[in-house]
């Protein structure tokens, strides 16, 4: 089992990612060390996570004599909003958090993104720890310091880069994760293999159930490398957005409620692979390999709606430029690249018979 420590190496504010079964039981000591004053530690979480794992976190904080207070949100993407952020600021004010205070994001990507953005902006920035509890958050959203909220016109449009001081991953917390959420996270794992690691792709595409700790470690290793080389998403990091251009549009078109993030990314990956193949930029067979990998993990690959109808939403994407968008495409499994594409080029490729 590949458990252990990885480091995100940055000029400033580098940090460790700790991965091991049982780490949640040590969170009190870790939080105690990162606080720089005696103020209350704000633990931002949601109902489901708190119900399943709150006791372990509370016991650990008590053992370490760390005064904390849980801020328990309703679960769901709709809470990753300006209103959700405003409520969090209210709670931070009630707890009298100072510049030396610490926040803990204890939950999935929604809690992580929202708590991270609140930490980025509260008193112009306080420290926070990511303690991710979904597979998606453990392999992706907790690492790299992207924080954001959605606005009605688009996903993650208001946000900031704010690196956590530490990421603490306890794979045991995944034992209570609903199967649909596991599949959503696994779609992001397939993405990592598709853009960067053919061996990781084979692991996720295996007919056997892959060892989760291996998947988590390998995905975090790839993300560490990429974020260490391009913290601010100006080049290589954009490759992590494979499947996300259409994925974000699908989430937005369905009002952020119908599809899980990973499900939308899975649709987006097959659409991008189909478009790449149609334009002769992606090797033939790559789209089918992706479909097989997703199917082996029980993930739906085909977007049931009309991809053409998504084009207006693509224009609202953060990656849209002028009359087009920077799409991440695959050359082969394991090799990705960025290509600027006009909306008419995308539209033509979508119309073609190669797109199912
Ligand atoms: P989520 O946070 O909504 O969690 C999914 C569901 O699982 C929720 O109902 C939650 O309550 C529940 N849950 C969480 N942990 C649990 C556990 N251990 N046991 C039982 N239930 C549990 O969804 P997510 O998929 O983790 O995150 C999606 C969000 O992450 C999106 O908003 C997406 O934009 C964001 N994201 C951010 C980044 C980034 O780099 N910041 C990267 C990828 C995705
Ligand atoms: N999830 C994409 C990124 O962190 O850049």
pLDDT in tens, 214-259: 999 999 999 999 999 999 999 999 999 999 999 989 988 887 779 9
Strand-pair partners of 15 = 8
Mean pLDDT value of segment 17-33: 97
3-state secondary structure of 122: helix
Instruction: Name the residue of 237, 239, 264, 336 to mutate for ligand 2: max ligand atoms within 8 A of Cβ.
Output: 237
Where do runs of H (alpha helix) occur along the chain?
27-34, 47-63, 82-94, 109-121, 135-136, 179-196, 198-205, 212-229, 244-253, 261-278, 286-296, 311-315, 343-351
Dist. CA 220–CA 215, nearest whole Å: 8
Which has more pLDDT, 164 or 326?
164
Pick the residue whose CA is nearest to atom 3 on ligand 2. Answer: 240
Q: Report the separation in Å between the CA atom of 58 and the middle of ligand 2, taken as the mean of its atom positions.
A: 30
Dist. CA 288–CA 219, nearest whole Å: 22
Instruction: For residue 325, give the H/E element and its range.
Output: strand 324-332
Judge if the beta carbon of residue 107 lies within 6 A of ligand 2. no
Q: Report the separation in Å between the CA atom of 224 and the middle of ligand 2, taken as the mean of its atom positions.
A: 11
Mean pLDDT value of segment 94-118: 97
Mean pLDDT value of segment 28-48: 93
* Tokens, residue 73: 């949100």
3-state secondary structure of 104: strand
pLDDT at 299 over 90: yes
Instruction: For residue 341, give the H/E element and its range.
Output: strand 335-342
Tokens 């799409």 -> residue: 327
Note the Cα 120 to chain centre separation in Å.
Answer: 17
* Tokens, residue 254: 């369905």
Residue 354's pLDDT band, with cuts at 50, 70 and 90, is: very low
Q: Report the separation in Å between the CA atom of 21 and the middle of ligand 1, taken as the mean of its atom positions.
A: 19
Q: Which atom of ligand 2 is nearest to the CA of 233?
A: 5
Residues 142, 193: contact at Cβ < 8 Å?
no
Q: What is the pTM of this model?
A: 0.94
Judge if the beta carbon of residue 146 lies within 6 A of ligand 2. yes
Instruction: Name the residue of 45, 81, 134, 191 to mutate for ligand 1: max ligand atoms within 8 A of Cβ.
Output: 134
| Domains delineated in the chain | 4-176 (3.40.50.1970), 179-352 (1.20.1090.10)
Residue 174's pLDDT band, with cuts at 50, 70 and 90, is: very high
* Tokens, residue 223: 């993300």
Residues 74, 47: contact at Cβ < 8 Å?
yes
Least confident range from 24-33, 75-84, 200-209, 211-220: namely 200-209
Mean pLDDT value of segment 46-63: 98
Q: Report the separation in Å between the CA atom of 6 and the middle of ligand 2, taken as the mean of its atom positions.
A: 17
């Amino acid at each position: 089992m590949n458990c252990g420590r990885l480091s995100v190496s940055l000029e400033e504010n580098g940090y460790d990612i700790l991965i091991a079964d049982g780490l949640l039981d040590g969170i009190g000591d870790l939080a105690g060390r990162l606080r720089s004053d005696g103020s209350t530690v704000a633990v931002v979480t949601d109902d489901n996570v708190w119900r399943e794992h709150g006791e372990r976190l509370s016991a650990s904080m008590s053992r370490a004599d760390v005064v904390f207070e849980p801020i328990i949100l309703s679960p769901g993407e709709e809470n990753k909003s300006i209103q959700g952020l405003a409520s969090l600021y209210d709670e931070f004010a009630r707890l009298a958090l100072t510049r030396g205070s610490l926040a803990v994001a204890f939950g999935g990507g929604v809690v992580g993104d929202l708590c991270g953005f609140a930490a980025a902006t509260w008193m112009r920035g306080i420290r926070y720890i990511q303690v991710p509890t979904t597979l998606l958050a453990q392999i992706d959203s907790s690492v790299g310091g992207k924080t954001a909220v959605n606005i009605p016109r688009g996903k993650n449009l208001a946000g900031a880069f704010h690196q956590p001081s530490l990421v603490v991953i306890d794979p045991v917390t995944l034992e209570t994760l609903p199967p649909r959420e596991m599949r959503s996270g696994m779609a992001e794992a397939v993405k990592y293999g598709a853009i960067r690691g053919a061996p990781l792709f084979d692991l996720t595409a295996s007919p056997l159930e892959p060892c989760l700790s291996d998947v988590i470690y390998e995905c975090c290793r790839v993300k560490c490398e990429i974020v260490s080389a391009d913290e601010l998403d100006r080049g290589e990091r954009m490759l992590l957005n494979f499947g996300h251009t259409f994925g974000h549009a699908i989430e937005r078109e369905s009002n952020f409620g119908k599809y899980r993030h990973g499900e939308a990314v899975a649709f987006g990956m097959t659409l991008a692979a189909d478009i790449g193949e149609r334009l002769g930029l992606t090797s033939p067979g790559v789209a089918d390999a992706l479909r097989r990998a997703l199917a082996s993990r029980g993930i739906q690959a085909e977007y049931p709606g009309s991809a053409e109808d998504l084009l207006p939403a693509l224009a609202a994407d953060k990656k849209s430029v002028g009359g087009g968008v920077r799409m991440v495409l695959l050359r082969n499994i394991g090799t990705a690249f960025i290509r600027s594409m006009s909306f008419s080029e995308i539209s033509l490729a979508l119309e073609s018979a190669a797109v199912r």
